[in-house]
Amino acid sequence: MTEQQYDTAIFAGGCFWCMVKPFDSQEGIVSVVSGYTGGTTVNPTYEQVCSGTTGHTEAVQITFDPQVFPYEKLVNIYWQQTDPTDAMGQFADRGDSYRPVIFYNSPQQKEIAQASKAALQASGRFKKDIVTTIEEAKPFYPAEEYHQDFYKKNPAHYNRYRRGSGRDQFIANSW
């Protein structure tokens, strides 16, 4: 398989630590990288993004084989990791750097994401509107190494954080 046959997807859904594991173990996923996107600062640091001055949001960039794992399946997994009714953060993490966004890399990804959002809204699963935005991808900057694969490097901290943030309870109750 050559690199040209892979595609990328970028999703923001609150803390990027919590967005890696659900995708990481799927067949057809080549890599999941934590990072920053959507802002104006070139190659920002975690501290700069947390300051709220860069315009970036924490996100994951997923490299995948669309023949094995189509983009539609990625979007479906994405919805089930987030609260799509909360525009100003996710769970305990508040503010622009934690907002939920599907960043599309092509017209096809945009169309799939918009259709999926409309279907979720129409499903009635949530009482509030689906407010996750769908935006054109901007440059993606990998986060510092200590943020990569955090769930593997620090499993106890990762699990405490997921529970404490309210993410696990929301997902259990909503999906």
**Cβ distance 16 to 58 under 8 Å?**
yes
**Cβ distance 98 to 57 under 8 Å?**
yes
- φ/ψ of 127, rounded to 5, equals -75, -30
Residue whose token pair is 């859904």: 13
The alpha carbon dihedral of 129, 168, 171, 75 has a sign of positive
Return the structure tokens found at 141.
């900057």
Q: Which of 9, 10, 12, 15 is catalytic?
A: 15
Residue 174: Cβ-neighbour burial (10 angstroms; 0-12, 13-18, 19+)? middle
Among the listed residues 1, 173, 166, 171, the one whose alpha carbon sits nearest the alpha carbon of residue 93: 166
**Cβ distance 123 to 16 under 8 Å?**
no
Active site residue 15: yes
Active site residues: 15
